Amino acid sequence: MNNQLRTIAVDLTPVLPGGENGGAKIFVLELLRRLAEMSPQTQFVLLTQVASHEELATLDRPNMRRQMVVGQVLANSLRPRLLGLASRVLPHLPGRLRRVVSRLGYKVNAMLKRGSSSALLRDMAADLLFCPFTAPTYFEPGVPTVCTIYDLQYNTYPEFFAAEDVANRERTFIEACRRATVLAAISDYSRDSAIAHGNLASSRIHTIYLRMAQRIAPGVENDKAILRRHNLTPQGYLIYPANFWRHKNHEMLLTAFGMVRHQGLSVDIKLVCTGAPGARQDWLISAAHTMNLGDHVLFPGYLSDADLATLIANCKGVVFPSLYEGFGLPVIEAMAAGVPVACSNTTSLPEVAADAAILFDPRVPTQVAQAMIALVENEALRARLIQAGQRRAAEFSDSECMAREYWELFQHALANVKHENLLTGAYADGWVGHCLHIQVAPAANKQTLAIEFSVPEWLPERRLTMQVSLHGNRLGDSFVFDHTTNAALSLPIEPAGGGYEVTITPTFVPAYTGHGNDHRELSAILQKCGIVHADGKYDALFPEKVNA
């Protein structure tokens, strides 16, 4: 392997305990194991957060170690939850209390963000940053960065997300497009969606499939005990292995299963819905009882790999009515286990399943019901699907090949990292959140960085504080400004260029302070930012049209 990649930092701070990350976590852990095996001369530093740091000890290798990044833990795992809690609680509080809680909330929010380090990669001499959960949180100028794009579901189905979650996901996608040297997509569907939404050049993003069909294999000696524990018999149930997120479409599945039960089957079949417990699961259990399906629909919760493999291997078929998938790993896993599959005909699923599954419109319950009946009663079709499914799964079974494709992408990023002037952190309308990042390329002649901010009169805080840093080191004193005057700074730029960071505190969310329905986290408005050369030439970084 190329010894230029001596150290790779991998951002695992988004990893949560258990199954809350869905298939993305399964993919990332398998990929990292393979990368460590095939690249023994490369050191992988896994950036972790406190909630999952110990769980990730299974990845420890001579060339792979964990590093808990405590400041970023708060910024990445607590801040989204605080924002989500605020969006649910604030509307129900009296006006004065709402304003007090909101003011306290965004002060705490800003404090959490200040714990981050701007020179983490530089300190560990990282040759590349890999962001397998998309967000380039630890991006540093000059360090090649690879981000994985799973899907843009928030853009297709914004109604499935809280408004602030849509804003955060869009910000993450934009930052990945701007900062990544190169992007990976888990399917052609996801790649095409990213190109269209992000106005990306096709050369910026590459499809690398989730080649993990053989990830789990049932232990035959434990099958009977596991099935008994879940009150199941071989071939006596259909299974839907998915978390209870809204796009997974469990309501439609229950409706279709009710139709199947009403029409009658030649055999008594149960429906098993796996997934991490929570409020959605509780609601679906209640709905199943209301529909008189309580004795026929089982919710075993989040399952270990061994239990899930056993339940899939012994089922009558897998039904997968998801409205949106970036890939659809359970479909391929079922095919690899020799189980017939029926799945949606939307998003990435036709690309992944091809002709090896029954395809149906997940929005039409009669089609879902007919597919379930066929899985149970049409033996000739079942035999064809099993055979075709195993052939299809073989095309997605080589996780070592997947790791090689990622390694080649890392090498591509290393060879194509650009040292150019780049501004990230500002929205198209000029609003900035907590931090503005400015990457300045080296130059032989004298350069000056010119920045100007303004704030509207209705800003919740009377004064804002701005601090400029270079590679994590503060440059001079902080600067305080308010709506009565614009904040204009002129900073000499080091000949070597580098990564400048402008932090502004406090931040606020307009929707939480009675100023419209804007759920973005904001601070001030960037009026202009650019580089002034010794000869007077001005290179505008903002405002300008930036091609991602």
C-alpha 340/C-alpha 377 separation (Å) is 12
Q: How far apart are CA 227 and CA 390, in angstroms?
A: 24
Where do the structural domains in the chain lie, given as residue ranges? 1-69+117-211+398-417, 220-396, 419-548
Q: Which pLDDT score is estimated for 360?
A: 99
Q: What is the share, in percent, of the chain residues with pLDDT greater than 70? A: 88
Q: How confident is the model at residue 17 (pLDDT cuts 50, 70, 90)?
A: confident
Q: What are the tens digits of pLDDT across the range 198-224?
A: 999 999 999 999 998 776 666 565 688
DSSP one-letter code for 157: -
**Rounded to whole angstroms, how far apart are CA atoms 62 and 74?**
28
Q: Are 313 and 218 in contact (CB under 8 A)?
A: yes
For residue 485, name the pLDDT band (cuts at 50, 70, 90): confident
Task: Using a pLDDT cut of 90, give the percent of the chain over it.
Answer: 62
Quote the CATH superfamily of domain 220-396: Glycogen Phosphorylase B; (3.40.50.2000)
Note the pLDDT of residue 70: 54
Lowest-confidence region among 137-141, 187-191, 333-337, 419-423: 419-423
pLDDT at 76 over 90: no
Mean pLDDT over each residue of the chain, to the nearest integer:
88
| pLDDT greater than 90 at residue 98 | no
Q: Which fold has domain 419-548?
A: Jelly Rolls (2.60.120)
Structural element, H or E, at residue 268: none
Strands 205-207, 64-68: pairing is unpaired
Structure-token pair, residue 346: 């939307």
Structure tokens at 252: 């439609």
For residues 309 and 188, give the distance between their C-alpha atoms in angstroms, rounded to a whole number.
Answer: 27
Output the CA–CA distances (angstroms, integers) from residue 178 to 18, 31, 210, 336, 368, in the order listed.
31, 25, 24, 38, 41
Prediction pTM value: 0.80
Q: Do 220-396 and 1-69+117-211+398-417 fall under one CATH topology?
A: yes
Q: How far is 470 from 133, CA to CA, in rounded Å? A: 26
Which CATH fold would you assign to the domain 1-69+117-211+398-417?
Rossmann fold (3.40.50)
Structure tokens at 515: 């100023």
First to last CA, the chain: 31
- Given a cut of 60, whether residue 81 has pLDDT beyond it is no
- Greatest pairwise CA separation for the chain in angstroms: 85
Q: Is the pLDDT of residue 3 over 90?
A: no
pLDDT of res. 117? 53
Cα 298 vs. chain centroid, distance in angstroms? 29
Beta pairing partners, 539: 531
Long-range contacts of 477-481 (CB under 8 A, 24+ apart): 481/453, 481/455
SS3 451: strand
Structure confidence at residue 220 (pLDDT): 60
Helix 79-89 and helix 95-113, axial crossing angle in degrees, nearest 10: 170
Q: pLDDT grade, residue 142 (50/70/90)?
A: confident
